[in-house]
Amino acid sequence: MVFASLVEALRAYVKMPLVWVNGAVAALAILAVYYLTYFVNETAGLAAMVIFFIFFPYFLAGTYGVLIDNNKKKGAFKIYARYGFRRCLFPNILLVLLTWFLMNLVTMLLLTFGVSAELALYISLFVVIPLVFFCYFADITAIRHNLTMGQAVKDSARRVALGSFSITVFYLMNIAVIFFASFVLSMVMSFVGFEALLPLAEMTEEALLALTPEELVTLVMTPEIIQASFVSLAITAFIFVPFFVSYKTYFFKRMLSVYNGSAVQHTAEEDGEYDEKGRWFKYK
C-alpha cells in the first residue's frame, strides 16, 4: 500500500499535471513573502504568508478530489476546490493552532524548571509529533466524507490507529523524502547562490574558525545569500510539494479500500452529485 501509493504519486507528475499547481502556488508564495518583506516591509511579507495559508487549502481540496475520483473532466478541479475549501481549511487551522499552543505551553513549562531554551524547543517538537501523526488526514477525510472539523479529526485518528504499521511506514517514507528534498535544496542553493557563497567557500578552515559568531552571521546573512536561499526554497517547493500532496492523496485512497467505515454523515460515493458551485446533493 505504501510503495504502490509512492509509485502512483510519481506517475501523477506526468499523468495528472494539475498536481504541479500546488508546487507553483507554494513557490510563488515563498517568493512573494521574500520580495514583499525586502522591498516593502515585514508586515507585507507576513500578510502574504497568512493569505497563502488561508487560500492554499483551496488548491489542496481541488487536487484531493480529482486524484481520489480520478476525474479528468473539464472544470472538475474547480468544483472539488469550491466544495472542499472550508472543509480543508478548518482542520488545518485547528492543527496549526493546537501545535502552536502545545509547543509554547511545553516550552514555557520546561523553561520554568531551568531547562535550556534549545532543549525545551526540541522536547516540545517531540510532544507535538503525535498530534500531527493522528491529525494528518483530517483535511482530506473532511472533504471525502463531508465531516465537521471535530469529526474529521476523530476520523483521521481512528484511521491512523487502524493502520498503525502501514501508517508508520508511510510517515517514515515522507521523512526520507524530506531528507532527500533538503539535499536537493542544498544542491540548488549551491548553484543559484554560487557567486554569493564564493567568499565563504574560498576561506580556509582556520579563517572560518577564527570568525566570531557575529562576523559569521554577517557573512551568511548578506542580501545576496538570503535571496538565493528563498529562490532555492521556491524551486525545491515547486518540485516536491506536488509529490507530498499526491502521495498523501493516493495513500488515503488506498486506506479507504482497506479500512472501511468512518464517522460520516454521507460520502461522495453515495447516491448524489455536485453542482457547478461545489454543493453536494443527495438523491432520494
- Yes or no: say if 225 and 196 are a contact pair by the CB < 8 Å rule: yes
Give the residues across from 280 on adjacent strands. 274
pLDDT in tens, 81-127: 998 999 999 999 999 999 999 988 989 998 888 888 888 888 888 88
- Yes or no: say if 246 and 68 are a contact pair by the CB < 8 Å rule: no
pLDDT in tens, 147-202: 889 899 999 999 888 877 888 899 999 999 999 999 999 899 888 877 777 777 77
pLDDT-derived band at 27 (thresholds 50, 70, 90) equals: very high
pLDDT-derived band at 272 (thresholds 50, 70, 90) equals: low
pLDDT in tens, 44-73: 999 999 999 999 999 999 999 999 988 888
pTM above 0.85, yes or no: no
| C-alpha grid cell, residue 245 | 500532496
Distance from C-alpha of 219 to C-alpha of 120, rounded to nearest angstrom = 29
Distance from C-alpha of 83 to C-alpha of 224, rounded to nearest angstrom = 42
Average predicted confidence (pLDDT) for the chain: 85
Per domain, the residue ranges of the chain are 2-98+137-145+163-260
